[in-house]
Structure formats: C-alpha cells, structure tokens
Chains A and B, each alone.
Chain A
Amino acid sequence: MQTLGHTFPKKRTESVSAVPVSRPVKTFATQSYLPEIVKGVGVSMKHFFTNIRDMIRDERPDPVINRFDVGITTIAYPEQRRLYPERFRGVHRLTQRADESVRCVACMCCSTACPAQCIYIEAGEYASGDSRRGYEKYPVKFVIDELRCIFCGYCVEACPCDAIRMDTGMHAVPYDSREQFIYSKDMLLSFTAGDGKQESENTRHEPGDATHPGVDRLHHH
C-alpha cells in the first residue's frame, strides 16, 4: 500500500444523515397484477374515448392554449402553423425603394455587426450621372449564408437605412446541398414582408427631395 505513494482516507466518524426510502408494500393486490391492469387500461381508455369523441365531433383542443389538456394537440405542420408573434425573426429580406431599386447603401454595418459573419457585401459606385452618385454606394453583391446565420437580428438592429429586415415570417428551409443556402441579392430582394409588401414602413428621403433632412449638393443649411 505504501509503495503506491498514498494512503486511504481515514474512516469517517461523523454520522451520515439520510432519509429512509419507503419501500413499496407488496400486497396480494399488487402481486396479482390485476388491479393495476384495470387502472392502466382505465387511463388508456380515458384518452382513447376523449380523442374518439373529438374525432367524431371534429373538434380538437387548441394546440397552444389547451396544450396541457387531455386530447390531441398536434400541429399539422406545414398545413397548420403555429401563430407567430409579430416580431418573429424569419429569413432576411432586402427592402426596396419606391423605384424598386435596393435600399441598401453598402455601409457594411450589418456584416460588421453579424456575430456569425454570414453576410458578404461588395460595394459599388452608382453610374456617373446618377443623382445618388457621390452620396451613397450600392451593393453589387449582397450574400447571406443562411446556414451560418443564427437569426439573432443584429443586422437589422445595425442597419441605418432600414434596408435589411427579418419580417418575412419564413423559416430557414432545409435544402439538399450547401450551395442552396447561399441567398443572393436578387433572391433577398424578391422576398416580401408578412403582409406582402416589398418596401419598408419608413419612407426613404432621396437626396433632392424637399423632405430630405440632411445636406446635399443643392441645399446648404
């Protein structure tokens, strides 16, 4: 024992407090197995007849409100869907301006804020002659890897232009291959909000508009 270099701890002398476990009493009733069968069948039958009645009367408990009641509370996805809260974060979309061009100005705020680093933006200048040239850029490429996305919504928080939103109400869909999860700019632009709109609630003030609050080439404050 000593050669191993350690000794066993001394026997504990303090009393150990323990709660005695009550053992089940074996009576003839429990040993004969029959009363328990009757009880178990009774429970099964309660559920069975409740659900049969629901099936015949074509009514089910509400799968969300009455989800703890006896009865079938299965949601038959995808035909039937859970009611989502208003601020449910679905797949992203890029909002549009009044002229259906992309609202994003390629400021990189979203891709910077993204903890999963799933947004890739390639910024480009508007063509010469375009009234926006010199004020803002536009995304030549705007790619989101939905496989990396963790649906945290930081991109939406970070966006100064209300250009990216997660109000589509769509789930991230399972696909066959990884390439299919790479959502391009055109795809993101084609998505609509839950109410079918492609714009945003907040109106965009283009440079040159009378409502434009900032400084532009024509208006000096």
Chain B
Amino acid sequence: MPNYILYAIPKILIMVGFLFNVGGILTWVDRRQSAMIQDRVGPNRAVIKIGKFELRLWGLLHPAADGVKFFFKEDFMPPKADKLLFSLAPILAMIPVLCLVAVIPFGDTVCPDALIQTVGNVTQLPNIARSGLCTFDPRTGLQPIDLQIVSLDIGLLFVFAMAGQGIVSAAISGWSSDNKFSLMGALRASSQMVSYEVTLGLSVVGALMIYGTLRLGDMVRWQSEHAWGIFVQPVAFFIFFAALVAESKRIPFDLPEAESELVSGYFTEYSGMKFGMFYFAEYMEIVTSSMLVVTVFLGGWGLPFVHRDGITIAFGEGMLAQLPLPHLVVTVFGVLAFFIKTLTLCWIQTFVRWSLPRFRYDQLMGLCWKVLLPVSLANIFVTGVVWLLLDMAPPFVGNMLQLVGDATQGFVAVLVTFLVGSAVFGLFRSRTKDPRIIGASAELVRSAGKSPQSPMQA
C-alpha cells in the first residue's frame, strides 16, 4: 500500500469524525443555546439510568436520542413521488459536504523524522527552522505529511465546485416529492444558492490575488507570515461570510425552508433518517463553511506570532521576544488552533440565528445582486489597483505594511486574551438581583425563604 494512502486514513478519520461529531453536537447547541438566549431551560431530559446513577450531561444525550428516533421512525414516501430521485436526494445532500473537507488543511506540514528523535538513550523533541520545509529522507523512508487529506493545486476551486452541488439535492428533493410546498422550497433554494454562489466566488478573488495561490495550505502560510485575511480583505470577509450563511440556508437567509410559508421547504415530505440526513447535512455544512472561513480569512492553523520554530514576537525588524518550541508542540498547537477557531465560528453561525429576523424573498435577492455582488466586484478592482501600486512602491512601504501586519497579529492576541479573560472574570461576578418583592406569591415565598428546589435542573 502506498504511503500516502496509509497516511490519508487517520486524516480522514480525524476530519470526518470531527465533522460528524460537531454536526451532531451543533443540533444540541442550537436547541440548548436558543433556550439560554430566550431564558428557557431547553432540552435536558435525555438520560441514561444505571441503577441510581443518572447520566444527563446537560442534555448532550439528546442528539443520540434523536439519531435513534430517526432510525425507528416510519420511512414515509408520498405515493406519487419519484422513488429513485426521492431516495437519492438525501444522499446527494451529504456527499458534497463530506467531499469538501478533503482539501481543507487542519495543520502545518509535519516532518515525521523531526517529531521525536532518540540520540543514544536520550529522547528529545527537536526544533526545526522557521522556513524549514522538510524533504524526503532516504534514511528513514519517511515523507513529509501534509495535514490535509488531499493537497490539491486547485484547492479553492474544488471547494466551490463541491459546495455548488448542494443545489442538486435541493432541486431533486423538491421536484420528486410531489408536493407544491416542496417544489416552491426547491425553487427558492436553487435560485438563492445560484445567486449567492456568484457572490461567494467573486468575493474571494481579491484574496486570491493577494495570496497568489489556490492551495489552501499555502494561503494559511501566507497569512501566518504576513497578516490574517480578515485584515487584508475585510470587505471580502464580510461578503464571503454572509454568502456562506446564505448558502447553508440558515436564518436570516432561510427562505427555502420558511416554516411560516412552506412547512419546511424542499424536505417537507421526508421523514425518518432521510430527513435526518438533510438535517444533519445542514449542520455539517455549518462546520465545513466555518472551516473554509477559518482557512481563507482567519489564519487557518496559524496562531499570532507562532511560527514553525516557536514563538517569535516581532514587529517589523524589532524583535521583542523569542521562545523556541519543539516541532511536535507547534504542530499540536496548530491543529488545536484550527479546530478551536472552527468551533468558535460554528458557534457564531448558530447564535446569529437567534437575533436576526428573516428577509423577504425580494430583499434577499436584492441584497445579493444589488449590494453584495457590486461590492465584491468593486473589491476586486480596488484590490487590483492597490496591488499594482504597491508593486511599484519603494521598499519602505513594504516594510511599513509588514509592521502593520505584525500589529494585527498583536491585536488578535490581545483581543482573544481580553475576551477569554472577561468571560472568566464574568463567571465570578455575582448576579444583580432586583430587591423588590412584587405580588402576594413573591411575599409568600420570601416568608418561606425560597421556592422549592429540585435536582432536575441541569
């Protein structure tokens, strides 16, 4: 068996495992988080009872219970539905999402012979050079491993090609269901996705011009050497993010499955695990789109000031601090950074849902064709002009830009530290209580101390 296939299997397991697990957990997050936002308790009743011991896990067992329920529900098919297409559509919804993660890098290239070295009796974790791209070592026979299932030259194009396939499943499921609501949902879904696909593609062109590559791994490398894409192309980031949310058909862009109008859009007629596949594909789409945004705009596996040789805090030429780290530690940091960034972005995509109202359909289309598309075209133009001007500029401008880029890295580091710090600080802040006693029932409870408590409150 060739080595690259051998290496690919654990990488596939990591990526697909992450995708499935986070997709499942996101269904719980969506429900429990909405409860937290709306001052409700939310799902917390799924329980595993072993004698007196109860495993409740804040309702985390609900996704498992949902999965079991999906399998045991009646698999209904409308009598006049197109049987082949009806069954094919949920499969087609899952496949592109799973294919998409193949090209997304979740860590820097690993040099296997530099991970752990044993010299005599001493085992040590060696460092490698900052620019050190390891090569094939004939002594050990180990090749450098890209932490990416396949390293395609057309990386980003492959992503767009796969993301575009989502339309097929939506259109097929709506058409084959023999239901007008489904058909209208499919119509809306396909026109919305086709429209936003254009914006999605054009918004990253500016970023591609700057990165000079379609390989996602090289994009991340550029970002960790210079500045994150969100600072280089802020407009593109917002358009790309909005278009991605629209692509995954979530609020405020969830017109294709608008409950108040179309029951649940193109998968109205689906039940059981077929519905489950649509439902699950939607949540996995959140994960993959978050991975994509992290890779293209948020520095991928990169952390501020962390390079292949360790932490180097430097602004332009001025070096402030340097801490060499072993290759193994840097790699683990990178992988963790990628997954934590992805989870954060998934969380942002889920909580945005509970604050925003749904667009009207003409507003949705107007936003795409009249606002986002012209802005993304303008972004391409401006980026091109600035890029040309910078090419002709004297070298001190380049040094200035490098300084600004390093400053953005510092900004990210400070901002993240501040946010995490304030979250931890807020945990210890006691809640402010309204001291007033309003109403006879409140007076009764006050005289008794407090309301009766129960253990069922996780």
Interface residues of A (CB under 8 A from B): 37, 40-41, 43-45, 47-57, 59-76, 79-83, 85
Give complex CA distance A191, B453 in Å. 25
Report yes or no: A47 in contact with B39, Cβ–Cβ below 8 A: yes
Please name the 6 residue pairs, one residue from A and one from B, whose CB atoms are nearest each other, closest first: A80-B454, A40-B355, A79-B454, A79-B456, A51-B36, A64-B445
B36: contacting residue among A47, A64, A73, A81, CB under 8 A: A47
Give complex CA distance A70, B40 in Å. 11
Mark B198-209 against chain A: 1 for CB-CB distance below 8 A, else 0. 000000000000
Report yes or no: B433 in contact with A44, Cβ–Cβ below 8 A: no
Mark B422-458 against chain A: 1 for CB-CB distance below 8 A, else 0. 0100110101111001101110111010111111111
B433: contacting residue among A41, A66, A72, CB under 8 A: A66
Considering only residues 174-210 of chain B, those with a C-beta below 8 Å from chain A are none
Chain B interface, >50% SS class:
loop
Give complex CA distance A37, B456 in Å. 35
A48: contacting residue among B33, B356, B429, CB under 8 A: B33
Tell me if B38 counts as interface (CB < 8 A to partner A): yes
Tell me if B369 counts as interface (CB < 8 A to partner A): no
Report yes or no: A48 in contact with B451, Cβ–Cβ below 8 A: no
Given A45-B351, A79-B456, A82-B441: A73 and B39 interface contact (C-beta under 8 Å): yes
A54: contacting residue among B431, B432, B448, CB under 8 A: B431
Give complex CA distance A41, B349 in Å. 12
Give complex CA distance A59, B457 in Å. 10
Given A43-B355, A71-B39: A55 and B58 interface contact (C-beta under 8 Å): yes
Q: List 18 A-B contacts (CB under 8 A).
A: A37-B356, A41-B351, A44-B37, A44-B355, A48-B36, A51-B39, A53-B431, A56-B427, A62-B445, A63-B451, A65-B437, A65-B451, A68-B434, A69-B434, A76-B454, A76-B457, A79-B455, A85-B444
Give complex CA distance A177, B198 in Å. 61
Give complex CA distance A43, B352 in Å. 11
Which of A47, A65, A66, A79 has the most chain B CB atoms closer than 10 A to its own CB? A65
Give complex CA distance A48, B442 in Å. 25
Q: Residue of B at shortest CB range from A59?
A: B431
Given A62-B451, A68-B438: A48 and B351 interface contact (C-beta under 8 Å): yes
